[in-house]
Amino acid sequence: MTEIQRLKEVIGLLGFKTQKDFADRLKLTAGALSDATRGRRGDSVSQSLKDRLELVFNLNIEWLESGKGEPFIKKGPIISESKEGVPYFDISLAEIDHVLNEEQAEYFVNYKPFNDCTAYLPVYGDSMYPKYASGEIIAVREITNYEVLQWGEAYVIMMNEAANSLRSIKLIYQHSNDNKLILRSSNPNFKGDTVIEKKNIAALYIIKGKITRNLI
């Protein structure tokens, strides 16, 4: 496997949905990253890009260059006993009120790529497999304007009592009625859509990425 191939693998390991999102996190243009992944420099990654990957994601450069060791250096994410970073709630969605209270947090995770998020939550169940597997940890950021949503992206949805207090992770799609949304699983074994009314949303969080427990 070449450095370029390992770079592409990193994008998936970090849970980025598009190369543009990955480039934005590195403060690169999409074109510059595209050139890198297409091997415009051959099979190697530039030193400047390696430096950014190491700084932003704690990437193990030895692994990138030779495949030896683990992809990420253990120094990140870092568990914080103080309230530094983003709170991790080790409970299922069904146990969460629509307000994520920091006092209920198991601990805080200081991990620069996702430090702009609201919380880390564990994934339970298989309705979003293979996009999100049970046991993975998702980084979520609260959304307050329900008129500006990213269609086809995954969200954590928390509904009020009028909608049976539904708690779920689903892909959101546009409905023909602007007052409604379509919720859909990514697992093809979970067939059928759920239609909800925006007015019944108690809280909504977009999923910015994921990490596995062995990174913590």
> How large is the greatest C-alpha to C-alpha distance in the chain, in angstroms?
58
- Residue 11: predicted pLDDT: 87
Confidence of residue 1 (pLDDT cuts 50, 70, 90): confident
pTM metric for this prediction = 0.64
Specify the long-range contacts of residues 12-20, CB closer than 8 Å, at least 24 apart. Answer: 13/71, 13/72, 14/57, 14/113, 14/209, 15/209, 15/210, 15/211, 16/209, 17/153
Of 19-33, 34-48, 88-102, 138-152, highest mean pLDDT: 138-152
Q: Give the count of beta carbons closer than 10 Å to the beta carbon of residue 210.
A: 22
- Residue 39: predicted pLDDT: 66
DSSP string covering 22-62, please? HHHHHT--HHHHHHHHTTTTTTS--HHHHHHHHHHH-B-HH
The residue among 209, 89, 104, 94 whose CA lies nearest residue 158 is 94
Confidence of residue 74 (pLDDT cuts 50, 70, 90): low
Tally the C-alpha atoms within 13 A of residue 122's C-alpha that lie toward its C-beta. Answer: 15
Model pLDDT for residues 193-204, shown as the tens digit of each residue: 999 999 999 999
Coil, helix or strand at residue 123:
coil
Place of tokens 């994410």: 77
